[in-house]
Structure 1
């Protein structure tokens, strides 16, 4: 008769995710995962699979977290442009508060070039995030608050790509004021 799991699946997954987030995929060993998750190797393999399977589960969990963050932020305001500004500021503020690069951004640079499964997962998540932004952009354009004739898809992709630039600047300078000035500039450009 199989034994019942005596640990919280989600808590252990979060411990692994935080380790991958901190060290990166390649620098994280199974020994590191055993220590961080406080599980033996066989429990990890039996429950989560090998290191790559575990990483993909962590990445999927993180993409769901980000999609929920965007959705919550998108419901915080009534007007399209206010919603868009709130989403942008919320995402940047959390990144700076956590003082961690977005796990998605780290994975894009470290893992995606050689891992089609991670790429597929992140492309799907990116489409979801882009759709949330596009909806608010279309509303702001309809309200006359965004005067740009650029398609909402281009504006949404521009916003998403700006997030990694903000983190990069902060990582180099540790200057939150400068990053928030860049956020203000991004919003100003979107309104044009």
Structure 2
């Protein structure tokens, strides 16, 4: 007779996500995961699959968290441009608080070598670009944004700029410089 799982799936997934977030994929060992999640190795494999499967689940969990963060920040905007500013400020505050980003780390650690990971990252980037395109088009239609720039190119630039906020803070740990990076990004849309 199979035993019932004696742990909360989502809670343990968050623990694994945070280990990958802190250490990166390659530096997180199975022993780290077993010890951190406080489950035995066979439960890990039976519930989450191998380390790579668990990482993909963790990355998707992180992306869902970030997508929710972006949408909530955008919803607090009174217009399309303030929604964009809110998203950028939300990323800035996350960078300052967390001093790390699983998405950004994964782009540089696995984005060129792991096709499954690259597909997840590309899909999330496309979703973020679409969100910015919608907001930029809305701002342009309402006369809030005066630009001759390509909206898709500007949306891609803004999403790339979100990564630059994390990069600046991770590499230099300089809050003033990180805030200036975010403000420059905001200034591209007024």
| Shorter-normalised TM range | over 0.9
The alignment yields a C-alpha RMSD, in angstroms, of 1.3
TM-score by length of 1: 0.94
Shift of 1:23: 0.8
Match of 1:163 in 2: 162
Contact 2:132 2:155 in 1 (8 A): yes
Contact 2:111 2:117 in 1 (8 A): yes
Match of 1:23 in 2: 23
Shift of 1:168: 2.0
SS in 1 for 2:112: helix
Shift of 1:38: 0.6
Structure 2 unaligned spans of 5+: none
Match of 2:70 in 1: 70
Q: Does 1:151 align with 2:150?
A: yes
Structure-1 separation of matches of 2:172 and 2:118 = 29
Contact 1:80 1:143 in 2 (8 A): no
Structure 1 unaligned spans of 5+: none
Shift of 1:4: 1.1
Contact 2:95 2:169 in 1 (8 A): no
Q: Counterparts in 2 of 1:40-59, with a 5 A limit?
A: 40-59=40-59
How many residue pairs get aligned? The number is 190
Deviations 1:100-150 (A, max 9, x none): 1x2111111111211101111111111111111111111122222322222
